[in-house]
Amino acid sequence: MRIVTPKQMREIDRIAIEEYGISGIVLMENAGRRVAAEVLKLPGGRKNHAVLLAGKGNNGGDVMVAARHLFNNGLSIKVFLIGEYRQVVGDAGINAGILGRMGISVSTVSAKKDLRKLEEALQWGQVVVDGIFGTGLNGEAGGIYLDIIESVNSSSCTVVSVDIPSGIHGQTGQICGDCIHASMTVTFGYPKSGLLQYPGAEYVGRLIVADISIPTGIVSGIEPIMCMLTKEYVSGIIPDRKPDTHKGSYGRAVIIGGSEGMTGAVVMASMGCLKSGAGLVKAALPGGLNYVIENRLTEAMSVPLGQGTSLKIDSQTQSRLTDILGWAHAVALGPGMGVDGDRAKVLEFVLTETQVPLVLDADALNCLALDLKLLDKKSGPVIVTPHPGEMARLVGSDIGEIQKDRIAAARAFSEKWDTVTVLKGANSVIADPQGNIYINTSGNPGMSTGGSGDVLTGIIASFIAQGIEPVKAACAAAYIHGRAADLLAGEMGMYGMTASGLAHYIPMAIKEIKER
């Protein structure tokens, strides 16, 4: 499903109006009707009392249309304009005038003295329709707006937000001072990127994407592309398995990593790789720790690198790395590897010698942060999979700055360094070198456990080994990784979720996605 920024949505609206001849008031009418329809579906239906909060812009105009339709369907309504009538112009002004001619009273709220009437209405109502701000909010919500938001959030009403909960930044999902905590959000045309990024995503409630008659062809010309990952999209990425195949048909993947006390990371990555369908998997780790793979994973082949318990480039290791890199269809480097000058040299060697897609995770990223220009030496496609802390180290920033605009952070890194970037976290962001963005919404907080990211690394490597191009492999892996966690949580809950438990649910997630 396509996602757009508020700026892109304004351009889509402009094209619909100016080039297709669909007037703005028609789009507003369709939007308001869809909001009213969702309100009527709520428990209580026409018996509910509805309080409608309209801002001064087009978002408020949508609310006024909704008010008219709810009134015509027999609901008891109270409408509040946040501001002054003289500030309501254009299509919103037309709809405000219609309400007046219908005899529907609209109260204004522009100062603290007006709040009492609104608070009384919130005690009277069962439903609030929130159209205070639209997606164009950039500054902090302050003054009377904060008082209104607090009053709505303190009420017991079901809250339906129009396009986006008021107070959430439409592009980044950041909270602009405070925001409405919606039970449901009815957004128009396409989801806005701020609806899917935290912290704002926490307050969206159930998201309804309403068709308001925007021609579907318009969005195909809007770039860069942003998409929300869905079951249908991922199902189309993962190829069907044909009867006349064998283990060689499903690719050869190599996982390189491990250090003393951190061998489990290689085990988890290898398990993720196996459970997602790679035909052959080799796990390469320091020779002094090779016994761990031999004891823990009977399906993966082990490759001892050197004699000690940490990775370093010597003649034997260089020779063995050259062999396995030439054998592989996909390589993953970093799980549990450790960080120092020797491991950085391993990273440099693998980047230089690997001509197939290379997934860099965990300590490979921490080594890369020591010298980002190592990426200029890459011989093949590179996929980086940082969590926010690792991304902050890579770009010399802090976690707070990364989290302020995760889409921008992932996109900027991919465009600058010609990588696929998987910025992990709630609603992971995948970016490609062309600036296209994919947002995953599967998964749950139970995944916040050691080894979960290693499993994802293994799934990405597996899908690439099976012939899926890197960005699509990253998208499919992120969705299936999250969906496996959702299936596991559905049976056992989120507490005590482990990476190995998650890995065991990967085949079930793929089965569910491929079922028609």
Q: What is the pLDDT of residues 31-46, one digit of tens each?
A: 999 999 999 999 999 9
Q: Are residues 19 and 149 in the same domain?
A: yes
| Nearest Cα residue to 451 out of 289, 251, 266, 175 | 266
Q: Are residues 376 and 489 in the same domain?
A: yes
Q: Are residues 186 and 257 in the same domain?
A: no
Q: Which distant-in-sequence residues (6+ apart) come within 8 Å of 117 by Cβ?
A: 107, 109
Residue 87 has what pLDDT? 86
Supply the CATH number for residue 37's domain. 3.40.50.10260
Q: Are residues 179 and 274 in the same domain?
A: no
Question: For a pLDDT cut of 70, what percent of the chain falls above it?
Answer: 100
> Given pLDDT bands bounded at 50, 70 and 90, which one contains residue 84?
confident
Domain of 342 in residue numbering reads as 231-238+247-514
Residue 363 has what pLDDT? 97
Q: Evaluate the CA torsion angle 220, 469, 475, 514 in order and state its sign.
A: positive
Q: Are residues 271 and 381 in the same domain?
A: yes
Q: Are residues 201 and 313 in the same domain?
A: no
Does residue 224 have a cis bond before it (omega within 30 degrees)? yes
pLDDT digits (tens, 9 = 90+) for 358-387: 999 999 999 999 999 999 999 999 999 999
Is residue 1 one of the residues assigned to a domain?
Answer: no
Is residue 280 one of the residues assigned to a domain?
Answer: yes
- Region 459-468: mean pLDDT is 98
Stated pTM of the model: 0.95
Is residue 131 one of the residues assigned to a domain?
Answer: yes
Number of domains in the chain: 2
Q: Are residues 193 and 273 in the same domain?
A: no
Check pLDDT > 90 for residue 83. no
pLDDT digits (tens, 9 = 90+) for 406-457: 999 999 999 999 999 999 999 999 999 999 999 999 999 999 999 999 999 9
Residue 276 has what pLDDT? 98
Supply the CATH number for residue 456's domain. 3.40.1190.20
Q: Are residues 192 and 272 in the same domain?
A: no
Q: What is the mean pLDDT of the chain?
A: 96
Does residue 199 have a cis bond before it (omega within 30 degrees)? yes
Is residue 211 one of the residues assigned to a domain?
Answer: yes
> Given pLDDT bands bounded at 50, 70 and 90, which one contains residue 153?
very high
Q: Are residues 216 and 264 in the same domain?
A: no
Radius of gyration in angstroms for the set of CA atoms belonging to the chain, rounded to a whole number = 26
Q: Are residues 166 and 299 in the same domain?
A: no
Q: Are residues 406 and 464 in the same domain?
A: yes
Check pLDDT > 70 for residue 507. yes
> Given pLDDT bands bounded at 50, 70 and 90, which one contains residue 139?
confident
Is residue 80 one of the residues assigned to a domain?
Answer: yes
Q: Are residues 268 and 405 in the same domain?
A: yes
Residue 516 has what pLDDT? 66
